[in-house]
Structures are given as structure tokens and as C-alpha cells.
Amino acid sequence: MTEVLQQIIVLNPDAASRVIDGEAFIITPHDNQIHNLTSVATRVWELGGEGLTVGDIVGKIVEEYDVERETAEKDILALVQDLVERRIVSLDDPAK
């Protein structure tokens, strides 16, 4: 899990997306599905588009929301795993 915290989130360049009222709606072309993200998940996804590591994103969420770091880390790692499985994002090594 520590390895994931050091990786950056890469948004799927082939996915179409729109944010409406703070929630992202993302269409993934491989399965032609519409994925709806909660407001916090949308914020994580947006921060991922800024080239931040997962660990940096955890820090930003802790700053922006009333949440303990341990809870944020656990929840964001689970979210990132789900987003990767649905091919909404991928993970990459920031050293590349």
C-alpha cells in the first residue's frame, strides 16, 4: 500500500467526463459505462489530474475535509483501487 501512496494518478485520456454540481460523470469507452463519483471521490479524481501522488492527494483531502489522515488514507487507497479496476484512472511512477 505504501507503494501506491508514492505513485501518481493518471486519468484515462480516452474517457469522457463532466462535473455537475460537484460530482463527476465519467464514460469509459472500453465498456461504454457511465460512472458517477461522489463529491469527495470527484475531488480525488480532479487532484489526480494535477499530477499529484496518491500520498499528496491524501494530504490535500485531510486539509480540505474534516477527516483523520489514517481514515483518509484507507478510504482513498480503496477508492483508487476501484477507479483503477474500472479503468477510470491508472497509476504511474512519478520518476518516469
CA-closest candidate to residue 62, choices 52, 81, 48, 76: 76
Q: What is the pLDDT of residue 1?
A: 57
Mean pLDDT by 10 residues, the chain (96 residues): 87 96 96 96 96 96 96 97 96 85
Q: So what's the pLDDT on residue 95? A: 77
DSSP track, the chain? -HHHHTSEEEE-TT-EEEEETTEEEEEETTTTEEEE--HHHHHHHHHHTTT-BHHHHHHHHHHHSS--HHHHHHHHHHHHHHHHHTTSEEEE-TT-
Output the pLDDT for position 94: 84
User: Which pTM value belongs to this model?
Assistant: 0.92
- Give pLDDT, residue 61: 97
